[in-house]
Amino acid sequence: MGVNKDNIIFAEILLSLLTLLLFIFFFSSEAKAQRIVWWNVENLFDCRHDSLKEDFEFLPEGDHHWTHGRYWKKLDNLSRAIAAIADEDAWPMVIGMCEVENDTVLRDLTRRSPLRMARYAYIHEEGPDVRGVDVAMLYDSLQFRTFGHKAIRIPSEEHGFRPTRDILHVWGICRSLPDTLHFVLVHLPSRASSGQKGEAHRRLAVETLCALLDELAGKNVLLMGDFNAEPNDAIFRSIQGRMTSLMPQKRKELRRAQGTYYFRRLWGFLDHILVSQPLQPYVESRITVGRFPFLLTDKSTPWRTYQGPIYKGGYSDHLPIWVEMKN
């Protein structure tokens, strides 16, 4: 049976028109504030054992007695916080996260928790971290349309280190920009890795990150993550040659903002958002720290899920941060 060429031509024209209408809707719908969030959500594990990962602490029979009830309370807590970050016009356009175990917890968060009303899509790649925690990204597909994503492996094992989290690179378009927007999400090796070997591992991760930033030179890049480093840490010297930090810089600003993480009676900024030079005109010049009262204890410190092995029932040991895109 032959194929009617007129039908093929008609179908191609119809597909082109539908694609055009999609782009017109995407760019001409009512402008809304486009908010970009970063949050270390503190051990977002499910309750099932992954035979390839050391997730034993976060099982019902593990040291943390991580039950289904506690798991779903955690998801409800995260949903409440993200709803509070949303403004009157829209949900946050993008939410970068770390300490996320797998695809299951993201599916439960976006499809089965109260956050399901936001209809977020998500991006996640399973990484080599021994405990099984990764970086991930939620996005509102009506505000940000993805073109692709890639996980960048840090060559830890080749240099004699334990595997660490991948870097996540996501690119696409949003209404606020005429060109492609690149997101780079990181969770660098912990400062708990003491001594020269720990610092060498962190430097290796930064070298891998800087190689990616060099590939993206001249493009609209937003880098965000838990760097396990303060703004004046030596690891930022090479990064800041390529990116501009949106974190408080002066001592008074730092004291007023307090920080994103509280440890040994001191606040610190371990979470950061940085932008490339071409992107600077399109974003606000400073981040906001989500110091909502319900995220804090009565001592005004982050209300954690756990304090050591003791269950606290809170949100995270880090506070979220965000920046606004200019309309």
> At residue 206, what is the residue type?
V
Delimit the domains of the chain by residue range.
Answer: 34-325
CA-based angle 55:313:192, to the nearest 5? 50
With beta carbons less than 8 A apart as the criterion, state whether 46 and 57 touch: no
Long-range own/partner contacts, residues 249-252 (CB < 8 A, 24 or more apart): none
pLDDT at 1: 47
**Measured between alpha carbons, how far is 97 from 38 in angstroms, rounded to an integer?**
6
Cβ burial of 70 (10 Å; 0-12, 13-18, 19+) is: middle
Would you write out the chain's pLDDT as a tens digit for each of its 327 residues?
454 655 545 544 444 444 334 444 444 445 566 999 999 999 999 999 999 899 999 999 999 999 999 999 999 999 999 999 998 778 999 999 999 999 999 999 999 999 999 999 999 999 999 999 999 999 999 999 999 999 999 999 999 999 999 999 999 999 999 999 999 999 999 876 456 777 899 999 999 999 999 999 999 999 999 999 988 888 899 998 899 999 876 555 555 557 999 988 889 999 999 999 999 999 998 999 999 999 999 999 999 999 999 999 999 999 999 999 987
| String of DSSP letters for 11-77 | HHHHHHHHHHHHHHHHHHSPP--EEEEEEEEEEE--SS--TTS--GGGSTTSTT---HHHHHHHHHH
pLDDT at 264: 85
**Statement: the pTM of the whole predicted model exceeds 0.75:** yes
pLDDT at 5: 56
CATH superfamily of 34-325: Endonuclease/exonuclease/phosphatase (3.60.10.10)
